[in-house]
């Protein structure tokens, strides 16, 4: 029964990655960590849209970007997942100024 429910949840969850980010931000807020979903951040190097932005309250710049990858059951080939992660890491590296565009 649990496996069936999990399969049903997974198929709907991967079609609404924004909903997953919203749920994670809500859960972090309930734990006392200010968090927001779908936040656009800008630096002189570039712009990134964070799936979830959380603030650890430990210092002036203690923001944490939570990047989500919801992969549909049809696209679980390792090469597809690697490429999605590689693209995200590149965007964040440009955003932080580690590499050029």
Which H, E and C letters describe the chain, residue by residue?
A: CHHHHHHHHHHHHCCCHHHHHHHHHHHHHHCCCCEEEEEEEEECCEEEEEEEEEECCCCCCCEEEECCCCCCHHHCCHHHHHHHHHHHHHHHHHHHCCCCC
Pull the structure tokens for residue 20.
């997953």
Q: Is residue 88 scored above 70 in pLDDT?
A: yes
The domain segmentation of the chain, as residue ranges, is 2-96
The tens digit of pLDDT for each residue in 47-77 reads 999 999 999 876 667 889 998 877 666 667 7
**Rounded CA gap, 99 and 101, in Å?**
7
Question: Contact 52/37 with Cβ under 8 angstroms?
Answer: yes
- Amino acid 87: pLDDT: 92
For residues 67-96, average pLDDT: 84
Question: Contact 71/84 with Cβ under 8 angstroms?
Answer: yes
The tens digit of pLDDT for each residue in 9-55 reads 777 766 666 788 888 999 999 999 999 999 999 999 999 999 999 99
**Rounded CA gap, 48 and 94, in Å?**
9
**Rounded CA gap, 40 and 49, in Å?**
4
């Amino acid at each position: 029964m649990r496996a069936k429910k999990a399969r049903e949840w997974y198929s709907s969850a991967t079609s609404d990655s924004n909903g997953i980010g919203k749920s994670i931000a809500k859960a972090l807020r309930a734990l006392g960590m200010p968090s927001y979903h779908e936040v656009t951040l800008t630096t002189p190097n570039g712009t990134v849209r964070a799936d979830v932005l959380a603030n650890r309250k430990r210092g002036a710049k203690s923001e944490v970007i939570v990047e989500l990858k919801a992969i549909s059951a049809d696209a679980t080939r390792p090469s597809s997942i690697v490429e999605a992660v590689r693209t995200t890491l590149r965007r964040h590296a440009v955003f932080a100024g580690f590499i050029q565009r």
